[in-house]
């Protein structure tokens, strides 16, 4: 037998394959099976990216972003890594989460919680799309868009921790005031922003949804630290997150009720405080942020107050326990006899007193105020200072004269944010106006 040469082999193969090649040439289905797959349509790029927390900010981060579902499908997937030091090429880790529709809009709200992070560490993350490799079913990640940055909080107060606090934020019809105040707040390099309600003045109205788009656009453009980290939001609910005038419990509509279902935007846009609407966020061993709902989607008395009692008892040894909520117990513009203020003083203030809370943030009155340290409504050196009253970027109101509100130490009609710096034994405060000028400075000792 003569040895087979390569050209003999090729001829033999061609003869064997010829019938099926002829058949494939006539059959369109078989033809398409041999064609390269269509390229994927471009991914739906994020309209906005922002951060919050659901659990300890030392070891976790919750990333939210929005996409427009009419522009195509977007995976809820990202890659993250500790920011590489000295040019090292650190590998990325992948995380996935869930998406849900933003009510009454074309947007999806994507949520990914990162866990197991290192404290006091800067991380990078990037969004992307997932595709399946058919040969082995592996999911491949293709990054798109920019690389974002955030920082976890330290586990102890081994270094000072700074945050900003304010409320009544996007209340105007132009972006200018909000953008100015956000730039002022961000220039102080805070670790996060406490927002005490009345965030975008949408009132859960479908037709007002673009105000949320504006809010997140302005926030995203401005609320970055000087080294480019995104500043997370820790929010509480206000009356303007709720459909209808449910913050007033005054007469006339006792059966109107309060329900988280009246605030669908709020509970879809932020993973914290989540339903039912009050929650605590514990930071390492030194700080507990207690978000409360001042009669917007939950009654003040009853289940919420019962929960608060237990939550404060559990945190007796935490040096900084900081309640924040919308309607003030000690108002600086509205009436002291307002029904919600009365309810808060009857239900929550005795619990703050018993727990030795040193300061709480209030909002809603569109003024600046610092109360005396109060216990049972009376001046007391170890009492609680109530700080407010929500004027991040809204028209300010007149303040109640100090002789008519003796619980007030000082009050001004001024847009402001509080900048709070925690160290082991004290919290240092400055109040900053929209020009970045510091107009008030004070210190409150930590709980002993
Ligand atoms: Fe407001
Ligand atoms: Fe309000």
Asked if pLDDT for residue 407 goes beyond 80, the answer is yes
First to last CA, the chain: 100
Asked if pLDDT for residue 88 goes beyond 50, the answer is yes
Nearest ligand for residue 242 CA: 2
How high is the pLDDT of residue 45? 84
Q: How confident is the model at residue 4 (pLDDT cuts 50, 70, 90)?
A: very low
Q: Which of 105, 120, 151 is the last residue of a domain?
A: 151
User: Same domain, yes or no, for 205 and 132?
Assistant: no
How high is the pLDDT of residue 36? 75
Flag whether 31 is in a domain. no
Which residue spans within 200-354 are E strands per DSSP? Answer: 233-236, 279-283, 287-291, 320-324
Instruction: Give the pLDDT mean for 363-371.
Output: 98
Flag whether 345 is in a domain. yes
Cα 180 to ligand 1 centroid, rounded to whole Å: 18
The residues, any chain, with a CB within 8 Å of residue 309's CB and separated by 6 or more, are: 351
Q: What token pair was written down for 144?
A: 């798109």
Structural domain count of the chain: 2
Q: What is the DSSP string of 7-59?
A: HHHHHHHHHHHHHHHHHHHH-HHHHHHTSPPPPPPPP---SEEEEE-SS-TTT
Cα-to-chain-centroid distance, residue 82: 21
For residues 311 and 110, what is the distance between their CA atoms, to the nearest angstrom? Answer: 29
Averaged confidence pLDDT in the chain? 90
User: Same domain, yes or no, for 172 and 139?
Assistant: no
Nearest ligand for residue 200 CA: 1
For residues 225 and 188, what is the distance between their CA atoms, to the nearest angstrom? Answer: 8
Flag whether 141 is in a domain. yes
* DSSP bridge partners of 421: 162, 428
Instruction: Quickly count: other Cβ atoms within 10 Å of residue 47's Cβ.
Output: 18
* DSSP bridge partners of 80: 93, 125
User: Same domain, yes or no, for 139 and 165?
Assistant: no
Nearest ligand for residue 367 CA: 1
Cα 170 to ligand 1 centroid, rounded to whole Å: 9
For residues 311 and 326, what is the distance between their CA atoms, to the nearest angstrom? Answer: 19
CATH at 256: 3.60.21.10
- Structural domain range at position 129: 48-151
Cα 335 to ligand 1 centroid, rounded to whole Å: 15
Flag whether 32 is in a domain. no
- Prior bond to 389 cis, omega within 30? yes
Flag whether 21 is in a domain. no
User: Same domain, yes or no, for 260 and 343?
Assistant: yes
- Calculate the CA dihedral of residues 140, 144, 149, 150 and round it to 10 degrees: -60
User: Same domain, yes or no, for 381 and 427?
Assistant: yes
Q: What is the pTM of this model?
A: 0.90
Flag whether 14 is in a domain. no
Cα 400 to ligand 1 centroid, rounded to whole Å: 17
User: Same domain, yes or no, for 74 and 111?
Assistant: yes
User: Same domain, yes or no, for 334 and 436?
Assistant: yes
Q: Which of 81, 116, 151 is the last residue of a domain?
A: 151
Cα 260 to ligand 1 centroid, rounded to whole Å: 19
Q: Which of 83, 118, 151 is the last residue of a domain?
A: 151
Pairing of strands 148-151, 385-388: unpaired
CATH at 75: 2.60.40.380
User: Same domain, yes or no, for 265 and 224?
Assistant: yes
User: Same domain, yes or no, for 313 and 184?
Assistant: yes
DSSP state of 152: P
Cα 202 to ligand 2 centroid, rounded to whole Å: 12
Cα 294 to ligand 2 centroid, rounded to whole Å: 10
- In tens, the pLDDT along 13-22 reads 444 554 454 4
Measured at the CA of 214, the angle between CA 208 and CA 220, to 5 degrees, comes to 145
Flag whether 25 is in a domain. no
User: Same domain, yes or no, for 250 and 389?
Assistant: yes
User: Same domain, yes or no, for 369 and 423?
Assistant: yes
- In tens, the pLDDT along 170-217 reads 998 889 999 999 999 999 999 999 999 999 999 999 999 999 999 999
How high is the pLDDT of residue 11? 58
Nearest ligand for residue 245 CA: 2
Of the given ranges (79-83, 94-98, 121-125, 242-246), which has the lowest mean pLDDT? 242-246
Q: What token pair was written down for 69?
A: 């579902």
Pairing of strands 233-236, 279-283: unpaired
Flag whether 414 is in a domain. yes
User: Same domain, yes or no, for 374 and 409?
Assistant: yes
Nearest ligand for residue 170 CA: 1
- In tens, the pLDDT along 282-327 reads 999 999 999 999 999 999 999 999 999 999 999 999 999 999 999 9
Residue 367: exposed, middle, or buried by beta-carbon count in 10 A (0-12, 13-18, 19+)? buried
Between 22 and 352, the more confident residue is: 352
Backbone angles phi, psi at 117, to 5 degrees: -85, 165
Cα 279 to ligand 2 centroid, rounded to whole Å: 20
Cα 211 to ligand 1 centroid, rounded to whole Å: 14
- Calculate the CA dihedral of residues 113, 267, 414, 347 and round it to 10 degrees: -110
Cα 44 to ligand 2 centroid, rounded to whole Å: 35
Report the percent of the chain where pLDDT is more than 70: 89
Q: How confident is the model at residue 258 (pLDDT cuts 50, 70, 90)?
A: confident
């Amino acid at each position: 037998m003569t040895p087979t040469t390569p050209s003999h082999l090729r001829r033999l193969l061609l003869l064997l394959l010829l019938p099926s090649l002829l058949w494939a040439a006539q059959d369109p289905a078989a033809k398409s099976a041999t064609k390269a797959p269509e390229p994927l349509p471009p991914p739906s790029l994020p309209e906005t990216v922002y951060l919050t927390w659901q659990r300890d900010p030392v070891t976790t981060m919750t990333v939210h972003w929005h996409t427009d579902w009419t522009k195509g499908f977007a995976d809820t997937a990202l890659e993250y890594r500790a920011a590489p030091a000295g040019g090292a090429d650190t590998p990325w880790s992948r995380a996935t989460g869930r998406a849900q529709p933003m009510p009454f809009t074309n947007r999806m709200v994507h949520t990914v919680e990162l866990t197991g992070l290192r404290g006091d560490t800067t991380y990078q993350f990037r969004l992307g799309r997932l595709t399946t490799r058919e040969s082995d079913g592996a999911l491949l990640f293709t990054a798109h868009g920019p690389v974002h940055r955030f920082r976890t909080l330290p586990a102890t107060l081994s270094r000072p921790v700074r945050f900003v606090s304010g409320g009544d934020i996007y209340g105007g019809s132009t972006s200018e005031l909000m953008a100015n105040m956000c730039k002022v707040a961000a220039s102080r390099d805070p670790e996060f922003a406490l927002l005490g309600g009345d965030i975008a003045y949408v009132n859960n109205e479908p037709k007002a949804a673009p105000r949320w788009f504006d809010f997140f656009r302005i926030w995203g453009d401005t609320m970055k630290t000087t080294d480019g980290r995104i500043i997370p939001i820790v929010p509480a609910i206000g009356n303007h997150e709720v459909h209808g005038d449910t913050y007033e419990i005054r007469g006339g509509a006792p059966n109107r009720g309060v329900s988280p279902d009246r605030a669908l935007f709020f509970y879809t846009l932020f993973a914290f405080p989540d339903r039912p609407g009050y929650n605590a966020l514990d930071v390492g061993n030194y700080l507990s942020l207690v978000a409360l709902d001042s009669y917007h989607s939950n009654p003040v008395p009853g289940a919420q107050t019962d929960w608060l009692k237990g939550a404060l008892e559990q945190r007796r040894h935490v040096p900084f326990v900081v309640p924040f909520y919308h309607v003030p117990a000690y108002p600086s513009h509205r009436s002291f006899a307002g029904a919600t203020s009365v309810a808060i003083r009857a239900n929550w203030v005795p619990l703050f007193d018993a727990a030795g809370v040193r300061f709480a943030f209030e909002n809603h009155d569109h003024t600046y105020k610092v109360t005396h340290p109060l216990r049972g409504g009376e001046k007391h050196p170890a009492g609680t200072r109530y700080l407010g009253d929500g004027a991040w970027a809204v028209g300010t109101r007149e303040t109640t004269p100090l002789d008519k509100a003796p619980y007030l130490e000082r009050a001004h009609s001024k847009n402001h944010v509080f900048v709070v710096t925690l160290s082991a034994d004290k919290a240092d405060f400055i109040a900053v106006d929209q020009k970045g000028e510091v107009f008030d400075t004070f210190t409150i000792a930590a709980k002993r």
